[in-house]
Amino acid sequence: MKRTWVIVAALVAALAGGVDAADKVNLNAATKEQLVTLGLTESQALQVIAHRAKSGPFLQVEELLAVQQMNKETFEKVRDHVTVDE
Amino acid sequence: MKRLAVFSGGLLLVAVVTAAQQRAQLESIKTEWQNAYGAIIYTVLANVKNVSDAPIAYVKVKVQLFDKDGKLVAERAGYNAEAEILDTEGFGGSFEDKVKLVKPIAPGGTDLFRLSLDKADIGKPFRTAKVELVEVH
């Protein structure tokens, strides 16, 4: 529940004008729930996690476009809210 | 030294052309991640334009990937598409023999440059790609 509030706070901050790096969701650690909260479908979120498990940590946010079931519309929606930095 | 920076796909691409290499230019540089039947590949694409008034036999392009702190993560070089044979070993004889097989880029003409890196060969997160024309012959 606490995690959900953190995500909601990040989205509110984004709408208020920009997302701080610290508020971004790390694609290499995100749970299915976090990814769904960002706007991915449950199926896409599972594909992100499967991609990570099979191919290793994401090296760039843009690598999301190589995930099965990902499309440009969803990518554009989430790109500013995710990171791969440790 | 002339620098051309292109912001594409959330990635800062920097094409560098030294004064000695202004016989050719890199244009329309873009990068993309591809999923090739499970193999995750990072590809750099560009057009090589011959801006001189003489044919160019081949160009060599270097791609460097840097992390958020500017530290080099990976580096690779390749030739324009018509000259990719120059990267092969054991085919077509010596390098000079292979150059004779390459179709030159006519003055004003263009050729594709494409270079792919396997994700496993990159290994670390990166943020910036530098694409540099290093040889023009």
- Domains detected in chain B: 2-136 (2.60.40)
The reply to whether ipTM tops 0.85 is no
Helix (H, G, I), strand (E, B) or coil at B133: strand
Taking residues A31-36, what's their average pLDDT?
96
Q: Say whether pLDDT at B6 is over 50.
A: no
Q: Class of A2-83 per CATH?
A: mainly alpha
Q: Mind listing the pLDDT tens digit for each residue in B79-97?
A: 999 999 998 877 768 888 8
pLDDT at B16: 57
Cβ partners under 8 Å of residue B55, min gap 6: B104, B105, B106, B107
Closest Cα in chain B to A84: B125
Report the C-alpha gap between A76 and A71 in whole angstroms: 9
pLDDT band at B56 (very low <50, low <70, confident <90, very high): very high
- CB of A50 less than 8 A from some CB of B: no
Instruction: Return the DSSP state at B83.
Output: G
pLDDT at A48: 97
Please judge whether B119 and A85 are an interchain contact, meaning their C-beta atoms are less than 8 angstroms apart.
Answer: no
Pick from B32, B40, B126: which is nearest to A55 by CB? B40
**List of chain A residues whose C-beta atoms are within 8 Å of the C-beta of residue B66:** none
Q: Are B26 and B113 in contact (CB under 8 A)?
A: yes
CA distance B102 to chain A (A): 33
pLDDT band at A85 (very low <50, low <70, confident <90, very high): confident
Containing B61, the helix (H) or strand (E) segment is strand B59-66
Please judge whether B40 and A58 are an interchain contact, meaning their C-beta atoms are less than 8 angstroms apart.
Answer: no
- CB of A57 less than 8 A from some CB of B: yes
